Amino acid sequence: MTSTAEAEVDQYDSPWKEALEEAFPEFIAFYFPDAHRQIDWTHEHVFLDQELRQVVRDAELGRRFVDKLVRVTRLGGGEGWVYVHVEVQGSREADFARRMFVYNYRLFDRYDRPVASLAVLADEEAAWRPDQFHVEAFGCETGIRFPVAKLTDHTERLDALLADTNPFALITAAHLLTRQTRQDPATRFQAKRRLVRLLYERDWDKRRILRLFSVLDWMMQLPKALEAKLWQDIEDIEGERKVRYVTSVERLAIERGMQQGMQKGLEKGLEKGLEQGIVKGEGTILRRQLTRRFGPLPQNVLDRLACADSRQLETWADRVIDATSLDEVFAED
């Protein structure tokens, strides 16, 4: 059984997780090309999420977007297959390097196989680059040095990222554009629309488009009016290409809330029920956005969401775009 806390954490990191699972070879190729060249991709790579949970279940989670354990096969190596432990870290964490060391030795101790620890740093502090941890006593030394990919290093390569067919070039571009448009919703709208169009122009299959769109949508949040305009543009794009991918899936939460409201309307009046359904749908979406942005929500926040009216939800949804904490979202006017 998965606990409520674990489910909320899964929901929080799911966009990055799904993209990584969808295109793991491309993830390694883009961020860690040296490692990519040493892996035999003709053999299946296997994700070991439950195994990772068992090894690190008592460790502090920190502010990460995703952590994964993957079994891969090494090219021409005597050991055959090895483990790759990947962390995508969303913000500065004082003990990050120590945690990478702890995870590495726990995994090695459990499986007695080589473990490659790789870190993608998605924070905004250009100087923060933890890549090693060492302990020494009486001439005895132990520790770890691990490869790090820093998203801010690509800031001056935006055009190249947009031209790159690797899906993680697109995700990196979305991350950078999100930072650049923090105070400019109109420019963010234009950037997000451009990235969404690129998703379709790559001619990827439906599943890949949906998973990558989920990451873009999570990163590049817009005010409600611009979000509605983007949906119309997406429908136009899908009409041009004669497909129906993103719209039908991403609107399920809204539709589900409206349907529940209409069901209540049969009992208490259709108009009132529909209004309740719309509010509930808005609350469901806002809760998802907050959880993905800030991690598992405390009970007092859940209670406020449950009791809020449409105007309150709209105010909080607008604040999510630029807020750096839950306190900023729910600050008193």
Task: Give pLDDT tens digits for 208-257.
Answer: 888 888 888 888 888 888 888 888 888 888 788 776 666 554 454 444 44
Question: Domain for residue 173, yes or no?
Answer: yes
Question: Domain for residue 240, yes or no?
Answer: yes
Same-domain pairing of 64 and 126: yes
Same-domain pairing of 208 and 241: yes
Rounded Cα distance between 316 and 295, Å, is: 16
SS3 at position 65: strand
54, pLDDT greater than 50:
yes
Per-residue pLDDT tens for 142-177?
Answer: 999 999 999 999 999 999 999 999 999 999 999 999
Same-domain pairing of 30 and 142: yes
- 134: nearest Cα among 142, 146, 126: 142
Q: Give me the number of domains the chain comprises.
A: 3
- 10: nearest Cα among 145, 231, 21, 256: 21
Q: Under a CB-based contact definition with an 8 Å cutoff, are residues 282 and 313 in contact?
A: yes
pLDDT at residue 273, rounded to an integer: 45
pTM summary value: 0.69
Question: Domain for residue 330, yes or no?
Answer: no
Same-domain pairing of 265 and 239: no
Per-residue pLDDT tens for 134-144?
Answer: 999 999 999 99
Residue 124 burial by CB count (10 A; 0-12/13-18/19+): exposed, middle or buried? middle
Same-domain pairing of 129 and 205: no
Helices (H), strands (E): how many in the chain? Answer: 16, 7
Same-domain pairing of 112 and 165: no
**Among candidate residues 146, 162, 188, the one where a domain is terminated:** 146
Question: Domain for residue 332, yes or no?
Answer: no
Rounded Cα distance between 181 and 193, Å, is: 13
Q: Which of 76-85, 133-142, 271-280, 282-291 has the lowest mean pLDDT?
A: 271-280
**Among candidate residues 225, 250, 275, the one where a domain is terminated:** 250
Question: Domain for residue 328, yes or no?
Answer: no
Let me know the angle formed at the C-alpha of 67 by 158 and 179, rounded to the nearest 5 degrees.
30
Same-domain pairing of 276 and 310: yes
Same-domain pairing of 35 and 123: yes
CB atoms within 10 A of CB 290: 23
pLDDT at residue 142, rounded to an integer: 94
Same-domain pairing of 246 and 259: no
Q: Under a CB-based contact definition with an 8 Å cutoff, are residues 322 and 180 in contact?
A: no
- The pLDDT > 70 percentage for the chain reads 77
- 180: nearest Cα among 326, 322, 31: 322
Question: Domain for residue 241, yes or no?
Answer: yes
Residue with tokens 């870290």: 89
Residue with tokens 């490659």: 116
Higher pLDDT, 9 or 313: 313
pLDDT at residue 283, rounded to an integer: 65
The whole domain housing 234 covers 153-250
Kindly report the average pLDDT of the chain as a whole number.
79
Q: Which of 22-36, 111-125, 283-297 has the lowest mean pLDDT?
A: 283-297
Same-domain pairing of 229 and 284: no
Question: Domain for residue 279, yes or no?
Answer: yes
Same-domain pairing of 12 and 140: yes
